[in-house]
């Protein structure tokens, strides 16, 4: 198997752009990815594309992937649309990595897109609901927020986690996102604001939930040979872990953990030959505040039940031992479902090249963690600073 | 001789006081009614019937597998045409060969259903369940809700000693036009009162018992004063009428009022002694009237009625909540589409939704719910050994879906019932732990916590394309 590199990665602005289409948003992301390549690169070298989207709203429910690549002028390039809910582009990235690693292609495009804010709120809610477990969770009257809220209630009951612990995720991620010009909600919030926000699905309030976002993101995945030719500072994909889990929370062994995150994380660490201690930063899937806490525990950043303490002690602040979600995370940067996974790759790519808006000091290893639904599919990637020059 | 072998009563949790009603309208048309029962947004005649029947069938005196007939009396079938008894039979897990009878159209329907059961052979289930609606400014004022279930069998502790009928055209008394939701009456007061009194007198006088000997009489009771007037020409004591009157506490529950009054009488007459104690056994009379038909039933002896305390219990609500719960002020039209669970798929899961059927893995002994696909513990592809999980359990995880936050198909429920709690409930079965997500109903969501004990109940889940779907929800078990 060959080593695999990210040659370039970029995203459109994340936000509410009801007059944009998934095609125009992906144009922006693709341009940003091309711009990020430090050397010479011809998009005509792209041999294969994997694009993630849930397809909120039902627009172009079939063949939206080829529609994107044709729109970009990548005429004829075989394109596969990947659907794994909020982890769609985490899995699209994984597909691109696998294609290059196996030697099938030398250059693959990974990306994702979602347009959500142009539909009526009922219509949007219907679409979000359909990627939870439909037969039992949905028909019990829950929403996505509701299922994560159930996990939060169980975590609070088991470990004494508090609403304030959850709110610290919002405070931290908003502080980071406020410095990211491409963030959807680029403003700061105080702990007081975050704690006292109106309830969405108790115990989760508005500040414990990510927004409904439009956006696109893209990454150019290449072999070592191509990377060396086109760049002095490509970023290596050191570990690519992924796992599936039961789509319904009630069908899983634990209500306070996402088993697929644990498995995907272990596999990514093993491939990279590192331990969680070796990480310099992480972008984790904080669709709801509790998800960030679960990620800390599932990915081995701390022991079970200790996630609240990490936040209280500032361990995951930008100046802490392990900064998490320096981009602003899903909470502040935004969560355009299908674009989120490769959006995280964009931030890791920037960090490892020293180009992030909230830059951590001289990082070597970064992790991205992308969760579909409430844990039905998870990808974890470990990225490593490129060592050629 | 046939009689009542087991019985169950069910009255919805909410109550509206007539004082509150009078405050809202400046007057009230609910004479002799102190408070009335209010069906919650997820209740209807079917769910109330299931609950009352489940209570009756909890008695050791009857095995549901032996039932030969199931009859339901109601004036408020959830759909004007469509499933009622098949749903009841499925929810109660009755034999598929059970004979069915749905009786409606007037408030004496319970007598007709009871009569079918008395004529049948073998144990028969009779349920009267009703939640009539009326024009809110007046017709609605006395209307309540409730359900009474009887298991009729040979050699029962409460013996039916006689039935009698009297039928005469009596137009304009109480009726509902085709396609209408609201019961109406022309209120020709004296005519109406006289006609009903005459019919009740004729029917009761034809019973093979002396009405003067009745310890209790549950007489047609559209309001609290009417049963006394209706028996004015009979030698029935006021004390007996009082013992069989429940309308003062639950309102006019249509076809279910007289049956509930009879259950109250039978429960009061439960001496706790074994059969053969005819000396101490009292006599109860039920006098039904509906649509021109009067029917009288005499019962000797009594029995304990599961759920009869519901008559006294309840949570008081204000008038605005009342209008919402009953759907008087909610359109029910919701945009955006519904969850994609097809009706054939829903039907396929009825064993789970009604009876909590889970599966044990023969390989590892792990429990899966629903019992489909690979084992949720060891992930082997096996044939599950199915079992019915216990109907009580514990809340393990919980959320409250606030106003406006519900999926579109639950928006109407939310508009009517307010914020609702959704739990992951754990049922501790002998075979292991069964977990499922479900709404917590009949509870203020703010009062529900992880760790609370809950009990299964069948409710209306949502309606899509005109077809209501029913399934399990959980209600708190009051810890006292
Ligand atoms: Zn097993």
Give yes or no for a contact between B310 and B7, defined as CB atoms under 8 angstroms apart: no
Distance from CA of B405 to the nearest CA of A (A): 7
The token duo for B121 is 């052979």
Residue B340 scores a pLDDT above 90: no
Angle of helix A340-352 versus helix A22-36 axis, rounded to 10? 20
Ligand 1 center from residue B359 Cα (angstroms)? 10
Q: Say if residues A224 and A340 touch (Cβ distance below 8 Å).
A: no
- Give the model's pLDDT for residue B465: 83
Same domain, B293 and B165: yes
Do B179 and B230 fall into the same domain? yes
B349 chain-A contacts, CB cut-off 8 A: 135
Q: Do A142 and B399 touch (CB under 8 A)?
A: yes
pLDDT at A176 over 70: yes
Place of tokens 């634990």: A254
Q: pLDDT per residue over B389-407, tens digit each?
A: 999 999 999 999 988 788 8
Whether residues B66 and B202 fall in one domain: yes
* Interface pTM, i.e. ipTM: 0.92
B281 shares a domain with B347: no
The verdict on a CB contact (< 8 Å) between B401 and A136 is no
- Comparing CA positions, the residue from B322, B413, B422 lying closest to residue B23 is B322
Q: Exposure pattern of A248-284 as b/e (b: 16+ CB <10 Å)? A: bbbbbebbbbbbbbbbbbbbbbebbebebeebbbbbb
Q: Same domain for B296 and B188?
A: yes
**Residue B336, pLDDT above cutoff 60:** no
Structural domain contains residue B335: no
* pLDDT single digits (tens) A293-315: 999 999 999 999 999 999 999 99
> Is the Cβ–Cβ distance between B361 and B432 less than 8 Å?
no
State the pLDDT confidence band at A389, using cuts at 50, 70 and 90.
low
Residues forming a β-bridge with A244: A377
Residues 6 or more apart in contact with residue B448 via CB below 8 angstroms = B395, B398, B421, B423, B440, B476
Give me the number of domains chain B comprises.
2
Chain B residues in contact with A145 (beta carbon < 8 A): 399, 405
Domain that residue A27 falls in: 4-120+214-250+263-274+332-385
Per the DSSP assignment, residues forming a β-bridge with A371 are A378
Which CATH number belongs to the domain containing residue A221 in this structure?
Answer: 3.40.47.10
CB contact under 8 A, B341 and A246: no
Contact A212, A116 (CB under 8 A): yes
Is residue A358 domain-resident?
A: yes
Q: Is A131 helix (H, G, I), strand (E, B) or coil?
A: coil
More confident of the two residues A386 and A383? A383
Give every CB contact of residue B274 below 8 A, 6+ residues apart in sequence: none
Q: Indicate the number of domains in chain A.
A: 1
Give the pLDDT confidence of B269-285 residue by residue, as tens digits: 776 544 444 445 699 99
Provide mean pLDDT across the span A230-242.
95
Is the pLDDT assigned to residue B339 strictly greater than 70?
Answer: no
Tell me, yes or no, whether B273 lies in a domain. Answer: yes
Can you say how many angstroms the Cα of residue B156 is from the centroid of all Cα atoms in its chain?
Answer: 23
* Burial zone of A231 (CB within 10 Å; 0-12 exposed, 13-18 middle, 19+ buried): buried
**Are the beta carbons of A120 and B471 separated by less than 8 Å?**
no
Q: Are residues B19 and B141 in the same domain?
A: yes
Ligand 1 center to residue A266 CA distance, Å?
24
Confidence at A353, pLDDT banded by 50, 70, 90: very high
Lowest mean pLDDT among A360-374, B257-271, B352-366: B257-271
Question: Same structural domain for residues B198 and B232?
Answer: yes
Structure tokens at B69: 């007939």
Query: Which residues have their alpha-adjacent CB atom under 5 A from ion ligand 1?
Result: B 361, 363-364, 366, 375, 377-378
Note whether B405 contacts A143, CB cutoff 8 Å.
yes
Task: Give dist(CA B126, CA A276) in Å, integer.
Answer: 66
Kindly state whether residue B382 falls inside one of the protein's structural domains. Answer: no
Report whether pLDDT(A130) > 70: no
pLDDT for B302 beyond 90: yes
User: Are B48 and B115 within one domain?
Assistant: yes
Q: What is the mean pLDDT of residues A358-381?
A: 97
Q: Measure the CA–CA gap between B76 and B46, rounded to whole angstroms.
A: 9
pLDDT band at B91 (very low <50, low <70, confident <90, very high): very high
Residues of A in Cβ contact (< 8 Å) with B469: 139
Q: Are residues B429 and B305 in the same domain?
A: no
∠ CA A252-A258-A259, nearest 5°, is: 70
CA-to-CA separations, B368 to A101, B236, B388, in angstroms, rounded: 38, 59, 12
> B206 and B118: one domain?
yes
Q: Is the peptide bond prior to A203 cis by the omega test (within 30 degrees of 0)?
A: yes
B379 inside domain: no
Across the range A15-34, mean pLDDT stands at: 97
Domain, as residue range, for B433 = 343-355+390-476
Candidates B331, B371, B415, B424, partner chain A, best to mutate (most A CBs within 10 A): B424
CATH code of the domain in which B16 resides: 3.40.47.10
Q: CA-CA distances (angstroms) from residue B180 to A65, A231, B76, B145, B192?
A: 52, 77, 11, 18, 22
Q: Torsion angle of alpha carbons B382, B388, B390, B391, nearest 10°? A: 120
Residues of A in contact with B423 (CB under 8 A): 150
Query: Which of the pair, A124 or B209, is modelled with greater confidence?
Result: B209
Residue B327 tokens, joined: 């759907």
pLDDT in tens, B410-455: 988 999 999 999 999 999 999 999 999 999 999 999 999 999 999 9
Q: Using the predicted structure, report yes or no on whether residue A55 has a pLDDT greater than 90.
A: no
Give the one of B400, B423, B437 whose C-beta lies nearest to A201's C-beta.
B400
For an interface test with A, the pick among B397, B409, B469, B470 (most A C-beta atoms closer than 10 Å) comes out as B397
Determine the pLDDT at residue A379. 98
Ligand 1 centroid, distance to A376 Cα (angstroms): 20
- Cβ within 8 Å, pair A154-B396: yes
Catalytic residues of A: 86, 335
List residues in chain A touching B: CB distance below 8 A. Answer: 120, 122-123, 125-126, 129-130, 134-143, 145-147, 149-151, 153-154, 156-157, 199-204, 246, 248-253, 255
Which has more confidence, B189 or A150? A150
Q: Which range (A159-163, A286-290, B60-64) has the least confidence?
A: B60-64
Asked if B257 and B351 sit in the same domain, the reply is no
- Residues of chain B with Cβ-Cβ distance to A252 below 8 Å are 376
The alpha carbon of B455 and the centre of ligand 1 are apart by a number of angstroms equal to 27
Contact B442, B390 (CB under 8 A): no
Q: What is the pLDDT of residue A131?
A: 67
Among B345, B349, B439, beta carbon nearest to A141: B439
Q: Ligand 1 center to residue B89 CA distance, Å?
A: 32
Across the A:B interface, residue pairs with CB atoms under 8 Å apart total 130
Query: So what's the pLDDT on residue B31?
Result: 95
B51 and B116 within one domain: yes
pLDDT of residue B51 exceeding 60, the answer is yes
Residue for token digits 């990974």? Answer: A110
Would you state the pLDDT for residue A387? 74
pLDDT of residue A129: 65
């Amino acid at each position: 198997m060959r080593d695999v590199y990210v040659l370039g990665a970029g995203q459109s602005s994340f936000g509410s752009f009801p007059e944009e289409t998934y095609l125009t948003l992906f144009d922006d992301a693709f341009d940003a990815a091309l711009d990020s390549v430090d050397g010479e690169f011809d998009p005509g070298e792209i041999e294969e594309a994997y694009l993630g989207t849930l397809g909120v709203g039902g627009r172009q429910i079939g063949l939206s992937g080829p529609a994107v690549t044709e729109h970009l002028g990548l005429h004829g390039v075989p394109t596969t649309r990947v659907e794994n809910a909020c982890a769609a582009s985490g899995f699209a990235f994984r597909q691109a990595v696998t294609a290059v690693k196996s030697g099938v292609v030398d250059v693959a495009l990974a990306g994702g897109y979602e347009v959500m804010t142009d539909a009526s709120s009922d219509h949007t809610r219907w679409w979000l609901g359909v990627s939870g477990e439909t037969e039992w969770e949905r028909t019990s009257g829950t929403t996505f927020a509701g299922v994560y809220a159930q996990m939060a209630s169980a975590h609070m009951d088991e470990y004494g986690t508090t609403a304030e612990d959850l709110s610290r995720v919002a405070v931290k991620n908003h502080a980071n996102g406020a410095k990211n010009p491409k963030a959807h909600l680029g403003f700061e919030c105080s702990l007081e604001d975050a704690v006292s926000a109106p309830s969405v699905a108790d115990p989760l309030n508005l500040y414990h939930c990510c927004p409904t976002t439009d956006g696109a993101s893209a990454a150019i995945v290449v072999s070592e040979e191509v990377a060396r030719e086109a760049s002095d500072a490509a970023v290596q994909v050191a570990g690519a872990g992924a796992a599936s889990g039961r789509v319904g929370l009630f069908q899983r062994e634990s209500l306070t953990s996402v088993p697929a995150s644990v498995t995907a994380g272990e596999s990514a660490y093993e491939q990279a030959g590192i331990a969680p201690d070796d990480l310099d930063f992480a972008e984790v899937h904080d669709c709801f505040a509790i998800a960030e806490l679960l990620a800390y525990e599932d990915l081995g950043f701390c022991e079970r039940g200790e996630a609240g303490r990490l936040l209280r002690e500032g361990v995951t602040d930008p100046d802490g031992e392990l900064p998490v979600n320096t981009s602003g995370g899903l909470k502040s940067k935004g969560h355009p479902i299908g674009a989120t996974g490769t959006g995280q790759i964009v931030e890791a790519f920037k960090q490892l090249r020293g180009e992030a808006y909230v830059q951590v000091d001289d990082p070597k290893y970064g992790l991205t963690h992308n969760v579909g639904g409430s844990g039905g599919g998870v990808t974890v990637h470990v990225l490593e600073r490129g060592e050629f020059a | 001789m046939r009689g009542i072998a087991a019985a169950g009563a069910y009255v919805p949790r909410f109550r509206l006081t007539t004082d509150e009603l009078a405050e809202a309208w400046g007057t009230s048309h609910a004479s002799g009614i102190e408070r009335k029962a209010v069906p919650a947004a997820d209740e209807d005649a079917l769910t109330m019937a299931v609950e009352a029947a489940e209570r009756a069938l909890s008695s050791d005196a009857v095995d549901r597998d032996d039932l030969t007939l199931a009859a339901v009396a109601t004036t408020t079938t959830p759909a004007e045409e469509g499933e009622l008894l098949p749903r009841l039979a499925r929810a109660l897990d009755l034999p598929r060969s059970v004979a069915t009878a749905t009786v409606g159209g007037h408030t004496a329907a319970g007598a007709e259903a009871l009569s079918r059961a008395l004529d049948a052979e073998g144990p028969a289930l009779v349920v009267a369940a009703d939640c009539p609606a009326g024009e809110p400014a007046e017709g609605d004022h006395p209307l309540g809700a409730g359900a009474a279930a009887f298991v009729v069998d040979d050699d029962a502790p409460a013996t039916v000693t006689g039935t009698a009928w009297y039928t005469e055209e009596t137009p304009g008394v109480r009726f509902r036009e085709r396609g209408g939701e609201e019961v109406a009456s022309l209120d020709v007061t004296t005519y109406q009162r006289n006609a009903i009194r005459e019919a009740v007198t004729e029917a009761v006088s034809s019973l093979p018992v002396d009405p003067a000997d009745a310890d209790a009489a549950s007489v047609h009771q559209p309001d609290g004063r009417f049963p006394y007037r209706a028996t004015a020409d009979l030698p029935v004591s006021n004390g007996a009428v009082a013992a069989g009157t429940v309308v003062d506490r639950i309102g006019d529950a249509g076809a279910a009022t007289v049956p509930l009054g009879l259950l109250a009488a039978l429960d009061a007459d439960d001496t706790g002694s074994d059969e053969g104690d005819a000396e101490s056994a009292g006599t109860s009379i039920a006098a039904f009237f509906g649509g021109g038909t009067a029917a009288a039933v005499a019962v000797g002896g009594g029995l304990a009625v599961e759920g009869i305390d519901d008559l006294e219990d309840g949570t008081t609500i204000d008038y605005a909540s009342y209008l919402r719960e009953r759907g008087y002020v909610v359109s029910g039209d919701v945009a955006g589409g519904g969850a994609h669970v097809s009706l054939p798929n829903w039907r396929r899961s009825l064993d789970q939704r009604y009876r909590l059927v889970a599966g044990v893995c023969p390989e590892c002994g792990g429990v899966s719910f629903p019992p489909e696909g690979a084992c949720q513990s060891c992930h082997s592809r096996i044939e599950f050994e199915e079992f019915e999980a216990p109907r009580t359990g514990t809340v393990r995880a919980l959320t409250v879906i606030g106003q406006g936050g519900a999926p579109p198909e639950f928006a109407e429920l939310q508009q009517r019932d307010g914020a609702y709690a959704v739990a992951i409930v754990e049922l501790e079965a002998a075979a292991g732990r069964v977990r499922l997500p479900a709404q917590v109903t009949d509870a203020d969501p703010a009062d529900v916590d992880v760790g609370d004990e809950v009990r299964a109940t069948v409710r209306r889940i949502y309606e899509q394309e005109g077809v209501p779907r029913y399934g399990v929800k959980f209600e708190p078990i009051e810890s006292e």
